[in-house]
Structure 1
Amino acid sequence: MVKARKYVYVKHFNGFPKEDDLELVEEELPPLQDDEYLVEAVYLSLDPYLRSSAFKLSLGTTYIAFQVAKVVQSKNAQHPVGQHVVGNLGWRTHTICNPKTQVTPLPNYGGLPLSLALGVLGVSGLTAYFGFLEICQPQPGETVVVTGAAGAVGSVVGQIAKIKGCTVVGVAGSDEKGKWLVDDLGFDKFVNYKDKDFVTKLAEATPKGVDCFFDNVGGEVCSNVMYRMNLRGRVALCGAVSCYNDVTPSKVTNFNAPLIWNEVKVEGFIVSRWSARFGEGVQGMVRWIKEGKLKLRR
């Protein structure tokens, strides 16, 4: 018998998650049936969406998360022992899967680490790739602002914008992150949203206004960038991490007016919209990584 350990959601989050909101439990798994296979977690994801999606979960369920897992036992010819897969299997060590389980065998990354399937070659990277290119449709010479720029999604968005010939301004919460964005990733400018003169600094960093805005944070920072949008600018709303732990809704400046005046296109999205094209996105980013155009921390 195989014993799995898993984190169970036992108490609804109230503000910031607390240790006793989750419980680590042990579960004895039954023997495999025909067409089933057993996978063991190799890497688990820890992404902001895990917090924002909590309202969808029922208490007593394994907490959601993507994982890279290795097939360790199998009665399924499509998933032999030794194969690596990626899927939304949750925070657990072992999982019994069957043909209906939504997992994908990992493609050949050409020597790149398997962990990238949860990063730049996984949901976060694909979110950046499709969300930015499809919604913002950047053009060479345009000014792009990315909030949450030092995160797994934002750091990729900024680099793709540079590949597309744009001027890129990253917004993050520390000068250390800003130095990494500019010196290592090639962002043109950085603005610290914690700076008391943030609005002024943002204006100085975007003297020609903003053509494309990829927002990961929501709240007041998002609102301030909206007032810098140019005529027919494009905004991709990816996340609102600044608000995820709010007990009561945040008071956000009304930014409808500049969006109306400047005929700005604003679109929210979930990356699964482009699931049929994920292979295209992975291949494109693998190529950029190997060409040295897309950098990452391993």
Structure 2
Amino acid sequence: MTPRLALIALMTLPLAACEGVNLPTIGGAEPEVQGHQGPPGVSPLEQPIETGAEARPVSTAEAATYNTAAFSARGNEPFWAVDVAGSTAIYKTPDNQNGRPIRVNRLNFAQGVEYVGVHSGRPFVLNIRAAACQDSMSGDRFPFTARLTVSGRTEAGCAGPAAAEVAQAVAATRAPAPAAPRTAPVASRPAAARPAPAPAATPAATEAEPAETPAATPAQTPAATPAPAAPAPAPAPAPAPAAATPAAPAATAPASEGTANLPPAPEADAAPADPAPAATTAPRLPAAPAATPEAPAGEPAATPPAE
């Protein structure tokens, strides 16, 4: 056997071992089977989706109450009655036999139906369940059990489908809208905590102080002011020098025989010319020495003596 034949024989062995193996790149893949599309046919809360069991309807409301459009409910001890249809309920009590209309909303649930409204600012709830009931006083039997909650109290009773004429009358009644809830009054702050009274006391004290000051000042001022009224006679001594000035020539008028021929005295040595400036300088003195006028009016002390 030649080496060439031996090599060919060895190459055929791997090819024989790979026979029947489909490589990813060799040959076409088989088509995948398409599964379920869309939402599941049953809720997973009722039965698992993986089981694939047959779907069955699940009720979310009680059928008897759901299919009843109007109800008449009543109770005893104390007596109460409610006729409800649509969005209106007529609430009757011994004090109000005609009834009071109340606007309500209907809610369906798994065991029955419930009407919710507002009466005098508090919840008004009529709950009707699909359970047989017997009146405690008359012994009548009703298909539904009723429970009324009003003004914070809960009363038990029975209910049944309302008559056609009652349902029409109640549905035609328009109930008023519920009143807005009452708001609690805001508590006012105590008077002592308010800062307003504190500044009010400051102006009162300020006005009281000036009221006393002017009262004392005018009383003292007039008492000291009349004192300078005494020097009023000061101008009286001014004419005294004028009277004394002509007195000097009068004394020289009668000349003697020896002096009659003498020449007149020179004007520079004449003393009577000096008193004129003295009279003008006297008023220029300050007002302080006003006490000097107390001297007698005839005394020539006001004029300086001639030299």
User: Normalised by the size of structure 2, how large is the TM-score?
Assistant: 0.18
Higher relative contact order (CA closer than 8 Å, sequence separation 6+): 1
Q: Find the structure with the greater CA-based Rg.
A: 2
TM-score by length of 1: 0.19
